[in-house]
Amino acid sequence: MGWNDHVEFIETKCLDCGVTDTWEYWDAVGKARYVGRVGQLLNVDATAGGKCPNCGSVRGRPVDEDNQQD
């Protein structure tokens, strides 16, 4: 089981900057396991999950691929 088994990648639109991008959403096990030294060794940041990769906002809405409206 690797680090990516604990993270879900969801296409999300940021409500602050308006950019649609792939956001990382970490589960509780992944956050506990990959924060700190282990995360540094694997070059993953479990604390960055649920944030806009463009501006760092936590306010976002998942994009529904079937009913995408901009």
Which pLDDT tens digits describe the chain residue by residue (70 residues)? Answer: 566 788 899 999 999 999 999 999 988 888 888 888 888 888 888 887 899 999 999 999 999 865 555 5
CA atoms within 13 A on the CB side of 36: 4
SS3 3: helix
Distances (CA, A) of 20 to 26, 38, 52, 57: 19, 30, 9, 12
Answer yes or no: are the C-beta atoms of 11 and 63 closer than 8 Å.
Answer: yes
Q: What span, in angstroms and rounded, lies between the C-alpha atoms of 63 and 22? A: 10
Whole-model pTM: value is 0.72
Domain locations in the chain as residue ranges:
3-67
